[in-house]
Structure 1
Amino acid sequence: MQIQVLLLLSRAFLLLSGAWAGEIIGGHEAKPHSRPYMAYLQSQEGANYSGCGGFLVAENFVLTAAHCQGDSITVVLGAHNIEQREPSQQVIPVRRQIPHPQYNRETLKNDIMLLQLQRKVRRDGYVNVISLPSANQRVPPESHCSVAGWGRTHADNEWVSDTLQEVELDVVEDELCEEYHHYNATTMMCGGDPEEGKSSFQGDSGGPLVCGKTAQGLVSRGSDDGTPPAVYTRVSAFIPWIRKTMRRP
């Protein structure tokens, strides 16, 4: 109960401060609980709070972006409206934050992190894992994918969304993301056709880029105004590290 109250108060702070939270451009509200792997991350660093996305990959592990680190993180699973105390929600503090050992906060190289939860989730119709790709699997340009998150729905609107939003977008050629410094096609993916205007945006960070039924990428960074394309961490490049890390005691 205390954790839930803290979450709601922190969410209110985010709304007032305009701090980062999940954001989708050009999308629509998702069907409630149609993405049972989705996680909302409430991160505290000192007196500041921020929000990120993530996704459940094991009964006690969530995958997200390394730049979503904080002094402490609470994970909310099974949510559609994060402003409400839905019976489906499971609110679990993070036991251990495990950013990739070669993560670089300046270049966002290796922008990926595992969160070990304090307890295993209760898997049901509202909370479940999503499949990961095979190691080094490539997703070709023009592949149809989707991304989801909670938050603002327009670059000019500072208010975040209470309900989960989603958008369908295509993987595009790596050349379209070369405008981003330090873009590396080996460990990153480029997503979102500039002509369609559909994209993830600031702070939707850590949410999954889902192609088919597999989490092929996770939101890393994008343009200041939400114009696509955006950069996604290529999950398949990190499968050995993910598997090894989750096996550790």
Structure 2
Amino acid sequence: KNSSCLSVEQDFPHQEYNNGNHTNDIMLLKFPTKAIFNKNVQPIVLADMGDNKLPKKCVVAGWGATRKDDETMSLKLKEVNVTLTHDPLCSEKNEYCSKGEEGPAQGDSGGPLVCEDGKAFGVISANSPALKLTKYTKIPYYREWIDEIMKQN
């Protein structure tokens, strides 16, 4: 009852997306109408190329599975705090990583990684439960691409 659904007019996946290793795992969506902002729906500031230091304290949100043994999606939006870390399995150039028990789960891909100053620094990309590692697509790295798609459409 407190939800809304938007149709998608056009999608813009990154032209070099690789489904095998999730490189360039970013897509923009164009809606046929403007979003209606209210207390539950607000725009977010995107981190830009000047935001190049590794943010530490972040939060991720999604409707993904809440238990490892059950892939049933949550009916409520959930959030969890994560700490970004340097990891050899992440590309410093275009990805962030977090490690630990707590983090995004199956079904959370595409959700926001929100860090200092309330900016969106990343997009949940992929996780490895065995390694307790989650990868996030780094918004500052793709900011020029994002701005160009927005300008053209």
CA RMSD, 1 decimal: 1.6
Pairing 1:184–2:104 present: no
Q: SS of 1:245's equivalent?
A: helix
Pairing 1:105–2:105 present: no
Between the aligned partners of 2:138 and 2:53, the Cα distance in structure 1 is 9
Residues 176-227 of structure 1, C-alpha deviation per residue, up to 9 Å, x if partnerless?
xx2xxxx4220111113x3xx11112220000111020110111001145x6
Decide which of 171, 182, 186 is 2:84's aligned counterpart: 171
Q: CA deviation at 1:90?
A: 2.7
Q: SS of 1:134's equivalent?
A: coil
| C-alpha contact (below 8 Å) 1:136/1:237 kept by paired residues | no
| C-alpha contact (below 8 Å) 1:97/1:114 kept by paired residues | yes
Decide which of 110, 128, 141 is 1:237's aligned counterpart: 141
Q: CA deviation at 1:102?
A: 1.2
Q: Which amino acid aligns with 1:188?
A: E
Ranges in structure 2 where 5+ consecutive residues have no aligned partner: none
Between the aligned partners of 1:106 and 1:240, the Cα distance in structure 2 is 24
Pairing 1:159–2:63 present: no
Ranges in structure 1 where 5+ consecutive residues have no aligned partner: 1-84
Q: Which amino acid aligns with 2:59?
A: S
Q: Which amino acid aligns with 1:191?
A: S
Residues 54-99 of structure 1, C-alpha deviation per residue, up to 9 Å, x if partnerless?
xxxxxxxxxxxxxxxxxxxxxxxxxxxxxxx22xx33110000100
Residues 8-38 of structure 1, C-alpha deviation per residue, up to 9 Å, x if partnerless?
xxxxxxxxxxxxxxxxxxxxxxxxxxxxxxx
What are the residue-to-residue correspondences of 1:198-209 with 2, within 5 Å? 198-209=102-113
Distance 1:168 1:224, change over 3 A: closer
Structure 1 segments, 4+ long, off by >6 Å, are: none
| C-alpha contact (below 8 Å) 1:90/1:121 kept by paired residues | no
Distance 1:174 1:138, change over 3 A: farther
Q: CA deviation at 1:135?
A: 1.5
| Sequence identity percentage | 33
Pairing 1:215–2:120 present: yes
TM-score (norm: length of structure 2): 0.91
| C-alpha contact (below 8 Å) 2:48/2:139 kept by paired residues | no
Please say which structure displays the higher CA radius of gyration: 1
